[in-house]
Each structure stands twice: as structure tokens, then as C-alpha cells.
Structure 1
Amino acid sequence: MGYPQARVVAVAECSSHAVLDAVVGGFKESERIVSDALDAHIGSGTLLLADRGLWGLARWHRLRDRGAHLLWRIERRKARRVQDVLPDGSYLARIEANKHSKAAGTVKAPPALVRVIEYRVDGQPDIVRLITSLTDHEEYPAAELAALYARRWEIELVFDEIKTHQRGRPVLRSQTPDGVRQEIYAHLVVHHATRDLLDEAARLHQSVAERTSFTRALHVVRRTVISPSGFSPLRPQT
């Protein structure tokens, strides 16, 4: 029997590198569909950063209705109907549903007015295009939002901490879907707890948690475990 394959989509908090919520789906399921289950965690006052693969007009409206603000990367062919150019170089544009993407029996999402921010990273030929619900250019300057979006990539550091340093094995041990879910959530809980310890240590020493080694903290945590469990998830416990 082969190992079950799973797709994990997570919401992470940039400021503390902590995973706030995650959903596990089948390997063949689209991230766009699986990630819908994370909407419940995103509420009023949240600023959600997302890559272009998660774009969807209906999702945009759904999250905005929850009171969240959005800063997403988008493909260049989107948001081309310019409504107004702002003093900082960003502009307001109208996005409409693709006329070819309407599924049978569904209603198209209404248009959305977004603010578009374009910039190029030094040494890179491609133009990065962001759209955001933060339309006030004075309160939210384009340069600050572009710098903030760059922090979205910090979730990759979180994945590296969990998959490379914490897990320590190339594959999960479980061979059942329930076992895989149990192991994944166990790893996420351990990571969150370790990150909480890093934040607390940084607070006590008046430093920044991001400058503290996660690997070193993980070693400290492992040394404090008196009797680590060595049972296999396949063997029932009595």
C-alpha cells in the first residue's frame, strides 16, 4: 500500500511566521478549491496577501464581505480598465468576470473596483502587478504595499521549517488518510508551539523573533521532552 498523497493549504501570519489555520485535501484537488475552507478564519480587519494562483472575482467579493482587506498579485491581462490614475503611480481599475468562465447554472460575480500597483524588482525583467482593496493612496502608499507584499514569501520559510527541519523524514509514516491528517496537524501544532516559545523569548530579551534560529529552538524543545513517543500510528494503542 502506498502512502496517501495530500495537499495542504495554510494561512500564515507574516509578523510571527506562525500558521494560523490549515486545511488538508486530496492531492488531486485544486488549491483554489481547498483554500475556500480557510475563509472562516479571515475576518474583519485582516489583510490577506495571496499569489496570483488564488485569484478569483467571486472569492474577492466573498472575503471583502467578511470585512477583510486584500493585497493580491494578479496576471498582467487583468485589471486593464483604468478608471483613475493616482499621484503615487498606482491606479484604480475595474475588473469584470470572464465571459468564458461562467459555469452552467451559476451567476457571474459582479465587477470590482480595485487599486493596481505595478513595479519591477531589480534585476528582473517581469513587471509585478498587485491589486488591493486599500484604495487610499495617501494612507496606504504604493511603495509600502509593494514592500509588504514581498513578505508573503515568508510563508515559504514556514513550510521549510516544518517540512525540512521539524519533520526530519522525507515522507509521513501513516498509510491511511486519517493518519496522514493526524500527522500533518500534529506537525502544525508543534510548529505553532515552537514559534510561540520563540516569540516569548524574543519579548523577554527585547529582540526580534525572526532573528532567532528556529532550528536551535526546535533542538531545545526536543531536549526537554522526557519520554518521546515511539509508537507507530498504524499500531492501535490500548
Structure 2
Amino acid sequence: MCLMDTYSHELLDARLGAMTQGELTLAAALAGCDQSLTVFDRAYFSAAFLLDWQERGQQRHWLMRAKDNLRHEVVARNAPGDYTISMPVSPRARRLHPKLPSHWQARLIEVQLGGRTRRFITSLTDAKRYPAQPLAQLYVQRWEIELGFREIKQSLQAGAFALRSKQPHLVRQELWGVLIAYTLLRRLMRQMAEHVKVAPLRIGFHATSIAIIDVLRFAPLESAASLPKRLALLFEHAHLFVIPARRTQRSYPRVVKRRPMKYPTKMPVSS
């Protein structure tokens, strides 16, 4: 379970657990950041989890897609498609967490995105300070963590199907090593991006990670004074690793691929 900065893909925190632990259990142990907005998937909709998340620090807010069967009552109408709602807490949740109230409040917004009506629920209840449309567009960043996982699997681990370790404690050690290495690489890429004055995600991960690893790979063979010089040279060449900005108009709808046919279709024979 990882918490990622969507602006730079740096990992802010991570938790590893056994198969007996669910995602909510691991997510509850993450150290959130103050003055932040965390984008969650709908699977994390839980009164106990979300209330604890926003109360564990200063201005720790959250945003997620609203479930289709969301049970709620409208408390106040802030604007068309923008409501303050009250939701009941399930009896089971109150048995597990006796301090939970019988109802809790959040903000429900309905906006048009891509020609479809989308519903989002958030702890940012100030409708004047946080308009609905820009707030809903932030949910797109929910997929940045999936892109980060792809960078780890395809580039950092070279698409390896399985980890090299065979024992549980070594698997954990290897996973922590991979996550730490990825965070350090992304942190250096953010500094390179600042050097050439572009967004951190404009620094291509694959080629840049190879260049950084090559600098570190040969560092033990050289004097200690040569490492700062090699890093300075890497920053001078940072403009070579800048990739074009993302195309925002691209669309990839979810579809089921047609299964390839092993044999040709038999044509009917007519006489």
C-alpha cells in the first residue's frame, strides 16, 4: 500500500502486510500529509477510515468517486449539483468503532466530464473556496499511482515477472529496497526538473533512471570527489531527458478485447 505525490511520483509512505490484512487496514497506517488532498478509489469508502484520515492532522482532506448506491440525505444545497449531505454509519462500523457518530457529513458534487455525469464525494465542504468543476478534475490524478507502479515494474525491474527472493523476510527486504530506490530516483528527477524549469513528470523515467544508476554504479571505482562532478554533469544534461507534455485530449475507454480466433471461420458451401 503506497501513498504517492501525484506531482512528482515520489512515494510519501508505504506499508507491507500479510494476505490476511486488507487494503483499508494498511491504508489506515499510512502517514498522511497536512495541508493536502488525497485522492482515493471508491474501495476506500468507510466512515471510520475517512473520518480518522482527516482528523489525524491539519487540513487533511480526501476526494473519491461516489458510489451509485450511496445512502445519503441532502442537508444543504450549495449550488446546482453541489450538496452538503449526511450519511448514516452502519451498525457494524459502530460496533467496531464505538466512537463513531450515527451520521457523518461530506460534500457531494455532480459534474459533466466527457459528456457523462460524474459524482464525487469529498471532505472539502467550502463550495466557494473549492468550486466543483476544478475539484472534480483533480480526480484524474488518481491514476498517477498506477503509472508509478508501471515505472517500477517495467523500467526499474525490467519487466521481471517475479521477485528474486524466495523467503518471506527477503521478499519484504527486496520490496522495501525497490520502493526506496524508486523514491530516490524520482526525487533526483524532481531536482533535475527544477534545474531546467519543467514539471517533474516531464523528465522521462526510463532513460533518466538508467543514467542515474550508471553514475552510482561506477562511483565505488572512483574517488569520492568525482561523484559531485558526475552529478553536476548529469544536471547539465537534464534538458536531454525532457519529454513532451502529455496530450490531455487522448481517450482510452474500457473495452473488452476480441479474443483472437485460432482457426479460420468455416464458410458455408452452397450448391
TM over 0.5: yes
Taking the TM superposition and a 5 Å limit, the aligned residue runs for 1:12-91 are: 12-38=4-30, 41-66=31-56, 67=58, 68-87=60-79, 89-91=81-83
d(CA) in 2 for partners of 1:72, 1:17: 19
Q: Separation in 2 of the partners of 1:206 and 1:189?
A: 25
Q: Does structure 2 retain, via aligned residues, the 8 Å contact 1:81–1:93?
A: yes
Instruction: Say whether the 8 Å CA contact 1:79–1:93 is kept in structure 2.
Output: no
**Separation (CA, whole Å) in 2 of partners of 1:98 and 1:162:** 38
Task: Report the counterpart of residue 253 of structure 2 in structure 1.
Answer: none
Question: More relative contact order in 1 or in 2 (CA 8 Å, sep 6+)?
Answer: 1
For residue 98 of structure 1, the aligned residue among 90, 94, 99 is 90
CA distance in 1, matches of 2:141, 2:49: 22
Matched residues in 2 for 1:80 and 1:72: separation? 16
Unaligned runs of 5+ in 2: 221-271
CA distance in 2, matches of 1:76, 1:174: 42
The answer to whether the 8 Å contact 1:51/1:74 transfers is no
What TM-score comes out, normalization by structure 1 length?
A: 0.83
RMSD over aligned Cα atoms: 2.1
Q: Is the aligned partner of 1:198 residue 2:189?
A: yes
For structure 1, which runs of at least 5 residues remain unmatched after alignment? 1-8, 229-238
Q: Deviations over 1:71-96 (max 9, x none)?
A: 12231222531111212521110011
Task: Percent identity, please.
Answer: 30
Q: What amino acid sits opposite 1:174 in the alignment?
A: S
Query: 2:94 & 2:88 partners in 1: Cα distance?
Result: 15
Name the CA distance, whole Å, in 2 between partners of 1:193 and 1:83: 46
Q: CA deviation at 1:176?
A: 1.4
Structure 2 Cα separation of the partners of residues 28 and 227 of structure 1? 42
Alpha-carbon separation, structure 2, partners of 1:152 and 1:32: 17
Q: Which moved more, 1:102-111 or 1:177-186?
A: 102-111
Deviations 1:164-200 (A, max 9, x none): 2111221101111111111111111111111111111
8 A contact 1:42–1:63 mirrored in 2: yes
**Cα gap change, 1:105/1:139 in structure 2, threshold over 3 Å: closer, same or farther?**
closer
The match for 1:113 is 105
Judging changes above 3 Å, is the alpha-carbon distance between structure 1 residues 187 and 177 closer, same or farther for their aligned structure 2 residues?
Answer: same
Change (3 A) 1:220 1:98: same
Structure-2 change in CA distance of 1:142 and 1:106 (3 Å):
closer
Quick check: 1:79–1:116 contact (8 Å CA) kept in 2?
Answer: no
CA 1:130/1:35 → structure 2, altered by over 3 Å: closer, same or farther?
Answer: same
